[in-house]
Amino acid sequence: MSSATPHPLTSSRCGALAGDIAPPGDKSISHRSIMLGGIAHGVTTVRGLLEGEDVLGTVAALRAMGADIRKDDDGVWHVAGAGLDALHAPDGVLDMGNSGTSARLLMGLVATRHFATRFDGDASLRKRPMGRVIEPLSRMGARFDSVDGRMPLTVLGAAHPQALTYELPVASAQVKSAILLAGLGCDGVTTVIEKTPTRDHSENMLRGFGAQVVVEKNTGGADVISVTGKPRLAAQDITVPADPSSAAFPLVAALLCPGSRVVLRGVGVNPRRAGLFAVLRAMGASIVYDNPRDEGGEPVADMIVSASALSGIDVPPDIAPSMIDEYPVLAVAAACAQGVTRMRGLGELRVKESDRLALMAEGLAQCGVRVDIDGDDLIVHGTGAPPAGGVTVATAMDHRIAMSFMVLGLRSAQPVRIDDGSFIATSFPGFTGMMNKLGAKIEASS
Ligand code: S3P
């Protein structure tokens, strides 16, 4: 499984990395800025929008449903909406490409609009489970025409939307967000109960746009998140922080390449996203948060990262939602660390852009690293020595698998090649240039 024209890349052992960079904008916040801007009244401005393919898919979808979205000469995006009721059925199919976030959140948004929307995606997205949103959104009155709960599928939005109270069966910010967005179209209060906290950008941003969102703890300690339907959302000015999930790649590269010192500017450090940084510090990483501040309601900091000798540790399952997208690159760090790292409770990794549990284990083993999978746990046996490398790794249309192995190649004895780097553009356009500017050696390969 790869793109129509695969772009193989090779990464080779390099010296110390040095420099000062601003990683691209946060993907989750960028999607939500466009969606909420598109259903608010007035013109929302967005600075630092991630212009990756996934977010551009969300832009195209909102345009197809009536929002007027433009980018000005200064790179600021302007999203003009006329309220939720102004959304209309798109003319054609909404092509969600590789983006699970676009697909699931937009299904929520249209589930309580009384029109039909057809969704499709690429070969990776077509494999991913949509039942997790189909089930609650059906209870709110939407009807779905799909084979086996996968895309392509059609959503027929509810004629008489019903507010819902729903306990999440999986720790998923996408499912939570889909239900909250659907709740906007209902009379009354829609409530999501989440036992394991996941990223809270939807709650925070909905509140910022003027919706009434209440978050309480129930007696069992779970978060109970309620949104009151039919709000009048008002346009906002948004500054998108740098994405901690993207910053993770140059950050781990700097930790692994001896002598490195890299500064990463304006990185989001929301505690529900920052699990990786805590885990790496516990492994011995030198990561300093400089100039911590609040930007547009999100905590951000400049990160000063210095090469560090890492030791293996046990990573408990309850931290997984706060670093769910970072396990591939953590596994690379673990492969170069001294000792065993056991990452527990990674079942959700099997349903990401690829089966990340299987792909990381296979790729690392090919590179000469001892790896075991035990149930939902990934166990990496690091020796502190550079992995052998010298192989081509399959990336299965997964941007984070691709970038993770490019980081490994910077440290391995022989170069590491990936079969296709084109999907990196879904979340981190300019990845190769930014890494090479720091001193990495990542090149197109035949
Ligand atoms: C996201 C939630 C996570 C994450 C994805 C972005 C979001 O997915 O993996 O990259 O923006 O809500 P799940 O909700 O499926 O864990």
With CA atoms as reference, report the closest residue to 95 among 103, 107, 87: 103
Quick check: is 221 in a domain? no
Ligand 1 atom with least separation from CA of 28: 11
| pLDDT on residue 296 | 80
> What atom in ligand 1 is closest to the CA of residue 31?
11
HSE-CB at 155 with a 13 A cutoff on CA atoms is 35
Strand partners, 42: 81
Q: Mark whether 42 and 146 lie in a shared domain.
A: yes
Examine the domain organization and report whether 124 and 262 are in the same domain. no
Query: Using CA positions, which residue lies closest to atom 16 of ligand 1?
Result: 172
- Is 295 domain-assigned? yes
For 385, counting Cβ atoms within 10 Å of its Cβ (0-12 exposed, 13-18 middle, 19+ buried), the class is: exposed
What's the CA-to-centroid distance between 173 and ligand 1, angstroms? 6
From the CA of 171, give the closest atom in ligand 1.
16
Residue 335 in domain: yes
Query: How far apart are alpha carbons 327 and 14 in whole angstroms?
Result: 23
User: Within this chain, do residues 266 and 388 fall inside the same structural domain, yes or no?
Assistant: yes
CATH number at 142 reads 3.65.10.10
What does the DSSP 8-state code read for residue 42?
Answer: E
CA–centroid distance, residue 358 to ligand 1 (Å)? 19
Nearest CA to 305 out of 241, 247, 251, 266 is that of 251
pTM of the model: 0.98
Nearest CA to ligand 1 atom 11: 28
Name the residue with the closest Cα to ligand 1, atom 10.
325
Q: pLDDT below 70 — which residues of the chain?
A: 1-2
269 in Cβ contact with 244 (< 8 Å): yes
For residue 200, give the nearest of 189, 187, 213 by alpha carbon: 213
Alpha carbon nearest to ligand 1 atom 9, residue: 325
Of all atoms in ligand 1, which is nearest to the CA of residue 175? 14
259 with 400, same domain: the answer is yes
Task: Give the distance (Å) from ligand 1 centre to CA of residue 177.
Answer: 10
2 within domain boundaries: no
Q: Is residue 293 within a helix (H) or strand (E), and if so which, with residue range?
A: strand 286-295
The answer to whether 366 and 398 have CB atoms below 8 angstroms apart is no
Q: Are residues 250 and 137 in the same domain?
A: no
How far does the centroid of ligand 1 lie from the alpha carbon of residue 1, in Å? Answer: 22
Asked, as a colleague might, if the bond just before 6 is cis with ω within 30 of 0, I would say no
Expressed in angstroms and rounded, the spacing between residue 243 Cα and the centre of ligand 1 is 13
Sheet holding 153-156, edge to edge: 94-95, 116-120, 153-156, 143-146
Residues 62 and 123 in one domain: yes
CA-nearest residue, atom 4 of ligand 1: 325
Residue 93 lies in a domain: yes
Is residue 321 one of the residues assigned to a domain?
yes
Q: Indicate which residue of 95, 325, 398, 420 is catalytic.
A: 325
Note the pLDDT of residue 4: 75
- Structure tokens, 397: 């249309």
Residue minimizing CA distance to atom 5 of ligand 1: 101
Are residues 17 and 85 both part of a single domain? Answer: no
Residue 387: give the domain boundaries.
Answer: 9-25+241-444
17 and 134, same structural domain? no
- Residue 66: phi and psi, rounded to 5, are 115, -10
Give the pLDDT confidence score for residue 19 in this predicted structure: 98
Quickly count: other Cβ atoms within 10 Å of residue 430's Cβ.
Answer: 14
Tell me, yes or no, whether 439 and 385 share the same domain: yes
Judgement on whether residues 17 and 42 belong to the same structural domain of the protein: no
Ligand 1 site, CB within 6 A: 28, 101, 172-174, 177, 199, 324-325, 348
Ligand 1 centroid – CA 174 distance (Å): 5
Encoding tokens for residue 40?
């608010």
What is the structure's pLDDT at 1?
61
How far is ligand 1, taken at its centre, from the CA of residue 413, in Å? 34
Listed in sequence order, the residues at least 6 apart from 3 whose beta carbon sits closer than 8 Å to its beta carbon are: 397, 420, 422, 423
d(CA 337, CA 80): 49
Residues 247-280 as b or e (16 or more Cβ within 10 Å = b): bbbbbbbbbbbeebebbbbbbbbbeebbbbbbbb
**14 shares a domain with 82:** no
Please choose from 203, 324, 399, 403 the residue to mutate so as to test ligand 1's pocket, defined by most ligand atoms within 8 A of CB. Answer: 324
325 flagged as catalytic: yes
How many residues would you count in the chain?
Answer: 446
The 10 Å CB-count burial string (b at 16+, else e) for 355-375 is bbbebbbbbbebbbbebeeee
What is the distance in A from the centroid of ligand 1 to the CA of 84? 24
Strands ordered across the beta sheet of 41-47: 68-71, 77-82, 41-47, 237-239
- Six token digits for residue 54: 């996934």
| Ligand 1 atom nearest to 172, measured from its CA | 14
Which of 49, 108, 37, 39 minimizes the C-alpha distance to 74?
A: 49
Q: How far is CA 239 from the centre of its chain?
A: 18
- Split into its structural domains, the chain has a count of 2
Dihedrals phi, psi of 301, to nearest 5 degrees: -155, 160
Q: How far apart are CA 370 and CA 249, in angstroms?
A: 22
Q: Does 123 fall in a domain?
A: yes
DSSP string, 327-378: HHHHHHHHHHSEEEEEE---GGGGGSSS-HHHHHHHHHHHTT-EEEEETTEE
19 and 59 inside one domain: no
Look at ligand 1, atom 13, and give the residue with the nearest C-alpha: 172
Q: Which atom of ligand 1 is nearest to the CA of 32?
A: 11
The answer as to whether 66 is a domain residue is yes
The preferred substitution site among 36, 174, 356 for testing ligand 1, maximizing ligand atoms within 8 Å of CB, is: 174
CA 81-203-130 angle, 5° bins = 85
Query: Measuring from atom 15 of ligand 1, which residue has the nearest CA?
Result: 172
347 vs 358: CA distance, rounded Å: 11
